[in-house]
Amino acid sequence: MKLLFDANLSPKLAGRLAELFPDSVHVSDTPFARTARVEELLRRHAIRIAELEQSPRPVLVIRST
């Protein structure tokens, strides 16, 4: 079984469990990592704008094609 370890887990975990779950990777070692960093940046920016404008926090939907 191949696992994809979440960003909240240590990147070392994939290496430590490689014998039990070969080919497993941490999300930071995938193309998802760049997308996740961009999404986090946009989310923080949107929250900051909402705080400055004292308006409800917007909801962003980001889809890749």
Q: How far apart are CA 27 and CA 47, in angstroms?
A: 25
- Residue 57 is predicted with a pLDDT of 56
Assigned domain for 60 exists: no
- 59 token code pair: 């909801």
Q: Domain tally for the chain? A: 1
Residue 65 in any domain: the answer is: no
Note whether residue 61 is domain-resident: no
User: In this predicted structure, what is the pLDDT of residue 62?
Assistant: 67
64 belongs to a structural domain: no
**With bands split at pLDDT 50, 70 and 90, how would you rate the model's confidence at 5?**
confident
Asked if residue 43 lies in contact with residue 50, where contact means CB atoms within 8 angstroms, the answer is no
* 24, 41 contact by CB (below 8 A): no
- The pTM for the full model equals 0.48
Establish if 58 belongs to a structural domain: no
Confidence of residue 58 (pLDDT cuts 50, 70, 90): low
Q: Name 39's Cβ contacts closer than 8 Å, sequence gap at least 6.
A: 60, 62
Find the domain containing 42 and state its range.
4-53
Tokens of 26: 């941490």
- The tens digit of pLDDT for each residue in 7-57 reads 788 989 988 998 998 988 888 887 766 777 777 777 777 767 666 666 555
pLDDT at 43: 75
Q: Is residue 59 part of a domain?
A: no
